[in-house]
Amino acid sequence: MRTFGCQMNKHDSERIAGMLSGMGLEPVPDDADADVIVFNTCCVRENADERLYGQVASLKALKLQRPGTLVAVGGCIGQRDGAALVARIPHVDVVFGTHNIARLPALLAAAEQHRAPAVEVFPSSDGDFASDLPTLREHPWRAWVPITLGCDNFCTYCIVPHVRGRERSRPFESVVDEVERLRADGVSEVTLLGQNVNSYGRDLYGEPQFARLLGAVAGTGMPRIRFTTSHPKDLSDATIEAMASHPGVARYLHLPVQSGSDAVLARMNRHYTQESYLALVRRLYAAMPDLALSTDIIVGFPGETDADFEETMRVVEACRYDQAFTFIYSPRVGTPAASMDGAVPREIVQERFDRLVAAVQASAFEKNLPLVGTVQTVLVEGPSKRDDRVLAGRTMGNKMVHAACPDSTTPQALAGTMVDILIEDAQTWFLFGSVRG
């Protein structure tokens, strides 16, 4: 299985893995040994798209050698392209979409039996929560919990509403029940997922219920609760209050700004201004001075002028971001922005992008410095990549911490547990410390 894209896709992949293991399949590291190869795909930007088509196309030689290997493509590209995928890459056996992952076993069986491609994509308005599917979690101690599917915001650059459909909320009790079950199963961290979690419940209950949901999820005793993504236009004071008052809710917020320019924000259909965004950030820091804040920024949106970009730089300075995911605008067929005038020349975009990245790095480093000398509760993930005696884990603010593991135990044994670590050194993307007690 290869997974591209957002957490929603990672979660869908855990469901897919659960179904495949129910069919008696198990993961193998090498394509050459696989009976089934599944791609769970993303089309939010062009490079993810191209990489996927490249990787699937390159399986041609393997398919010639082992014709019995089934190649399945699902996720957002499957949803968008359907049968066109098989027309472009004939050695694809199965195409499925984002609304029918439960059908994958049947589609694989059909492709094998008829020795012909099986393509099935449901309209993006359909589909339900796949909460009754088996899940093979990547980590036993961490789980994704979808609370909404789809998106109603139609930001003008974005393909997601077109492939994931309208926003549908999952019933309140169903979310809380799942978190309770996960808690009983030993899970230490859940991430509530939705394209815009702040509008959770609007379709079901007439008004957003996210703050109440956060409180109920915290009430299960789940040690650590994260959520993503928050649209600035819908983040309520009740949600800020719920974050500030429940110690289990992470002091970390991902609040995509996309641009600092009011003109660009209006053309993006974002429904807020620089001023209202900055006011929101001020309220957040006032309620939680230790909040870690991250964002998404798009550079080179059609018609972005130098002055527009300077407004984005201004926001980055004012917000003291701990992290920012920066993207070069990528036109997506079928979205309104794709037919807007004012494409920004490549060199200018690159120049702006480089300046932005440097500003974000400086901001992330500055935000880490005051943590030196503090004790942070870290949820251990396992050994660090470079040294298996060093444990790696994350703080409430989502910062990666490395520390020498106590002699009495191993990083593997500590995975999924909370450890207090005295922070002794800070870099841009890492903290280093030693285990307390």
Residue 164 sits in the site that holds ligand F3S (CB under 6 A): yes
Q: Using CB under 6 A, which of 75, 146, 256, 393 touches ligand SAH?
A: 256
Instruction: Work out the angle at residue 104's Cα, subtended by the Cα atoms of residues 101 and 105, and round it to the nearest 5 degrees.
Output: 135
Q: Which is nearer to ligand SAH, 297 or 403 (CB)?
A: 297
Among 19, 44, 213, 392, binds ligand SAH (CB under 6 A): 44
From residue 27, give the alpha-carbon distance in Å to each of 16, 34, 41, 144, 385: 12, 8, 18, 20, 21
Could you tell me the smallest distance in angstroms from the CB atom of residue 321 to ligand SF4? Answer: 18
The residue within the footprint of ligand SAH, chosen from 53, 122, 172, 327 (CB under 6 A), is 327
Question: What share of residues in the chain are helix, strand, coil (percent, to 5)?
Answer: 40, 20, 40
With a CB cutoff of 8 Å and minimum separation 6, the contacts of 271 are: 233
For position 6 contacting ligand F3S by CB under 6 A, the verdict is: yes
CA dihedral 268, 274, 280, 284 (to 10 degrees): 100
Q: Is 148 a residue that touches ligand F3S (CB under 6 A)?
A: no
352 sits near ligand SAH (criterion: CB under 6 A): no
- Output DSSP code: residue 249: B
Near ligand F3S by CB under 6 A: residue from 86, 160, 211, 284: 160
Give me the least distance between CB of 250 and ligand SAH, in Å please. Answer: 17
**Which one of ligand SF4, ligand F3S, ligand SAH, none is in contact with 220 (Cβ closer than 5 to 8 A by kind)?**
none
Give the pairing of strands 70-74 and 36-41: parallel
- Exactly one of 1, 38, 43, 222 binds ligand F3S (CB under 6 A); which one? 43
Residues in the chain: 437
Q: Which of residues 42, 182, 222, 324 is near ligand F3S by CB under 6 A?
A: 42
Q: Cα–Cα distance between 167 and 42 in angstroms, integer?
A: 18
The whole-angstrom separation of Cα 97 and Cα 95 is 7
CA distance 420 to 393: 11
Show Cβ contacts of residue 123 under 8 Å, excluding neighbours closer than 6 positions. Answer: 99, 165
Decide if residue 324 touches ligand SF4 (CB under 6 A). no
Per-residue contact string for residues 67-86; x = within reach of ligand F3S by CB under 6 A: --------xx----------
**Is there binding between residue 147 and ligand F3S (CB under 6 A)?**
no
Question: Is 292 in a helix, a strand, or coil?
Answer: strand
Radius of gyration of the chain (CA): 22
Residue 38's binding partner out of ligand SF4, ligand SAH, ligand F3S, none, with CB under 5 to 8 Å set by partner kind: none
Q: Is 183 exposed, middle or buried (0-12, 13-18, 19+ CB in 10 A)?
A: middle
Q: At what angle do helices 172-184 and 210-218 cross, to 10 degrees?
A: 20
Q: Interface with ligand F3S includes 127 (CB under 6 A)? A: no
Find which of ligand SAH, ligand SF4, ligand F3S, none residue 298 binds, CB within 5 to 8 Å per kind: ligand SAH
For position 5 contacting ligand F3S by CB under 6 A, the verdict is yes
Q: Where in 229-288 is the site for ligand SF4 (CB under 6 A)?
A: 231
Residue 160 binds ligand SF4 (CB under 6 A): yes
Exactly one of 98, 100, 153, 261 binds ligand SF4 (CB under 6 A); which one? 153
Task: Please identify, among the stretches 47-55, 63-71, 156-164, 309-317, the one whose residues bind ligand SAH according to the rule CB under 6 A.
Answer: 156-164
Binding site for ligand SF4 (CB under 6 A): 151, 153-155, 158, 160-161, 195-196, 231
